[in-house]
Chain A
Amino acid sequence: MEAVTWLLFTIGIALILAKIGDAIIERFEFPGVLGELIMGMVLGNLVYFGLVSPHYLPIVSGQGFTTTATEISEFLAKLGIIFLLFLGALDTDIEKLKKTGLTATVSTVLGVFVPLVLGWFVLMKMGYPSREAFAGGVLLTATSIGLTVRVMMDLGVLKSEVGAASLSASVMDDFLGIALVIFAVGSGSLIELSAKIVLFFIITGVIWWYLVDYYIKFAEKLHVEKGVLGMALGMMFVFAALAEGWFAAAIEGAFMMGLVLSKLPEGKRLMDDVRAIGYGLLIPFFFVHTGAMLNLTVFKNANALVLAAVLTTIAVVGKVLGRGFGAWITAWGRGRDFLFTKENFWMSLQMGIGSIPRTEVALVDLMVAIHGGAIPPEDAPEFIAATLIFITVSVLITPPLLKWAFRREIEEARATKVARKVERIQETKEKIKELKGSQ
């Protein structure tokens, strides 16, 4: 009984701190998720450093702290991941995605595969087994476009060709980042796994794409409080169970159900309710729980720092190279003559730098890889530390790098503004002169 009391208390404290942390970090114009992770880190380390008994703060699991209460909080965090992905998919505009241009497509594919392959290769060289190294590579794949959009908005360059392409590319690489994790956690031979994936996507994607309309109409006829929401969430959990059973990645099911529902107006209307459950409870709890998994004593071990340095370098360099080269090679659809121009180089570099930040999907992939066994428990603390470090570094360095990469456009915009002002002053002066002359 007492365990339940302290679990409820922990959930309450975690949510309050998450929202406060989110608000503080947002004030500095960084993604609020960093604040939630930091708050989680503080809570977790109160336990790791023996300042609070794990019985009173059941937020960390593993590392000798697992109890029934911590298992429940871990499950709540898993629900947070499921809701995060469901919401992300529900918000996706598939029609827009279909119209993604060549530059965005090529740069996305290379922007995903270069860090993935580099990460995989370097981690194997460092002595990690292939499956674990691959999972490490997957962590580096998905960009979090939020920060880039905000900085580009502030700089007034979001409406540019690079801004539009960056947006499309980031939606696509979220897809790839989420899909690739299956290969890290899935078991069995490659053929068996591929067959399962194909079957899963046929059942959830193709069949449900046509059936979901009837399902929602049936749900509407039930005339019960939040009937449609309940039925939609119910099917989402069935999809998640199927994906968990087949490849230990429940997120794939939640993501597919979100995508399928996103085509219906009724599905889109569920977003407010799903957002309320997700961002009101489960998603902040997931971020706090993830932050709490970072045991700061891990830094006593040099391996964690080396891994963090390696992953951070690949995360930054791999993305800029991959996505930048992908954009450069397409010459932005302007033909061969444009290929070796300075403009192509700068636009591609801007595209590459815009893809550096990582947040939510990297954390989701990390947790899926840990829970799915791709990253073994003994290496989990190192990977958690390394991931949180490369996320923080990627978020901190992106704004100044983007400002540097777009400096020419910013100066041009500033000059145009000044010229317009001068023009307006000149016009006013002339009008005053005319008025004086007519008097």
Chain B
Amino acid sequence: MELENALETFHSMKVRSIMPRPETLPVVERDAEIINVLKLLRTRHHVWVVENRETMRLFGVIRYLDVIDVLLPPKSYKFKLGTTSRTMKSLLGGATRAEDMAEKNPLTIEQDATVLDALMKMRKYRVQVLAVVEDGRLVGEVSLRILIDELLRLLRVGGAQWKQ
């Protein structure tokens, strides 16, 4: 497939059609220990934090870069108005559970949104991953890695053929 056609198809694809199955998502419950989160982050760039696995109600997200705040010693923090939430992610600052280091209310996108919508949102807020939610429940994700994978697949076999 030509690059231009492939990109056109790619942009109009629905998020629903490219998002991975919920059971493959990196998910922890909000009271999971930070050590378990760190174990997941060895191979993933983010971890979704949910209230519990039954409801899958989205609580927050922990991104790869958040680990910096978790690992730094207390002396490296500057305590100023407007910077305290970062500080409290530190292991030495009292963070013990996933909920302590998670960014609450992560950016989300609807299943029926297109890849173009997702890309626009990612650029606007400079994030690499968006949660796909339905009534507050985490049902999938769309990340740059997934988008790159899909584009490469599309270029190799073409959108319609690939879907079949």
A223-B120, A275-B82, A275-B83 as given contacts; A153 in contact with B105, CB under 8 Å: no
Q: Is B42 an interface residue (CB 8 A)?
A: no
A149-B87, A266-B125 as given contacts; A163 in contact with B80, CB under 8 Å: no
- Identify A87's interface contact among B79, B82, B103, B104, CB under 8 A: B82
Report whether B107 and A265 are in contact in the complex, using a CB–CB cutoff of 8 Å.
Answer: yes
Tally A residues with Cβ within 8 Å of B: 44
Q: Is A241 an interface residue (CB 8 A)?
A: no
A153-B93, A159-B94 as given contacts; A87 in contact with B81, CB under 8 Å: yes
- Identify A265's interface contact among B83, B106, B120, CB under 8 A: B106
Q: Mark the stretch among A27-35, A55-63, A110-118, A346-354 that contacts chain B.
A: A27-35
- Per-residue contact bits, chain A 277-309, to B (CB 8 Å; 1 contact, 0 not): 011000000000000000000000000000000
Q: Is A135 an interface residue (CB 8 A)?
A: no
Report whether A266 and B107 are in contact in the complex, using a CB–CB cutoff of 8 Å.
Answer: yes
Report whether B77 and A264 are in contact in the complex, using a CB–CB cutoff of 8 Å.
Answer: no
Report whether A360 and B81 are in contact in the complex, using a CB–CB cutoff of 8 Å.
Answer: yes
User: Which residues of A249-287 are within 8 A (CB) of B?
Assistant: 263-266, 268-269, 271-272, 274-275, 278-279
Q: Is A158 an interface residue (CB 8 A)?
A: yes
- Per-residue contact bits, chain B 105-117, to A (CB 8 Å; 1 contact, 0 not): 1111000000000
Q: Closest approach, in angstroms, between the C-beta of A83 and any C-beta of chain B?
A: 9
Report whether B80 and A32 are in contact in the complex, using a CB–CB cutoff of 8 Å.
Answer: yes
Q: What's the interface size class on B, roughly?
A: 20 to 34
Contacts of B106 in A (CB 8 A): 265
Nearest neighbor of B77 in chain A, beta-carbon distance: A150
User: Which residues of B56-112 are within 8 A (CB) of A?
Assistant: 74-75, 77-85, 87-88, 90, 92-94, 96, 103-108
Alpha-carbon gap, A360 to B88, bound state (A): 19
Q: Is A146 an interface residue (CB 8 A)?
A: yes
Alpha-carbon gap, A84 to B83, bound state (A): 11
Q: Is B35 an interface residue (CB 8 A)?
A: no
Contacts of A220 in B (CB 8 A): 121, 124
A84-B82, A278-B82 as given contacts; A29 in contact with B94, CB under 8 Å: no
Q: Is A91 an interface residue (CB 8 A)?
A: yes
- Identify A360's interface contact among B80, B87, B105, B125, CB under 8 A: B80
Q: Closest approach, in angstroms, between the C-beta of B68 and any C-beta of chain A?
A: 14
Q: Is A90 an interface residue (CB 8 A)?
A: yes
- Identify B78's interface contact among A32, A91, A145, CB under 8 A: A32
The B contact surface, by secondary structure, is loop
Contacts of A268 in B (CB 8 A): 103-105
Contacts of A85 in B (CB 8 A): 81
Contacts of A145 in B (CB 8 A): 79, 84
Report whether A163 and B94 are in contact in the complex, using a CB–CB cutoff of 8 Å.
Answer: yes
Report whether B93 and A88 are in contact in the complex, using a CB–CB cutoff of 8 Å.
Answer: no
Q: Closest approach, in angstroms, between the C-beta of B108 and any C-beta of chain A?
A: 7
Report whether B82 and A91 are in contact in the complex, using a CB–CB cutoff of 8 Å.
Answer: yes
Q: Closest approach, in angstroms, between the C-beta of A108 and any C-beta of chain B?
A: 16
Contacts of B92 in A (CB 8 A): 153, 158
Nearest neighbor of A225 in chain B, beta-carbon distance: B124
Q: Is B127 an interface residue (CB 8 A)?
A: yes
Report whether A263 and B105 are in contact in the complex, using a CB–CB cutoff of 8 Å.
Answer: yes
Report whether B85 and A147 are in contact in the complex, using a CB–CB cutoff of 8 Å.
Answer: no
Task: Given contact pairs A91-B83, A274-B82, enumerate 18 new A-B contacts (beta carbons under 8 Å).
Answer: A31-B80, A32-B80, A145-B79, A149-B87, A150-B74, A150-B79, A153-B92, A153-B93, A154-B74, A158-B92, A158-B94, A228-B124, A264-B105, A265-B105, A266-B107, A269-B125, A275-B82, A275-B83
- On A, residues with C-beta under 8 Å from B are 26, 29, 31-33, 84-85, 87-88, 90-91, 93, 95, 145-147, 149-150, 153-154, 158-159, 163-164, 167, 174, 220, 223, 227-228, 263-266, 268-269, 271-272, 274-275, 278-279, 360-361
**When A and B form their complex, which 6 residue pairs have the shortest distance between CB atoms, in order from nearest?**
A146-B79, A87-B82, A153-B74, A88-B81, A265-B105, A269-B125
The contact sample of 14 A-B pairs, CB cut-off 8 A, is: A90-B82, A91-B84, A145-B84, A149-B79, A150-B74, A150-B79, A158-B92, A167-B88, A220-B121, A265-B107, A268-B104, A268-B105, A269-B127, A279-B82
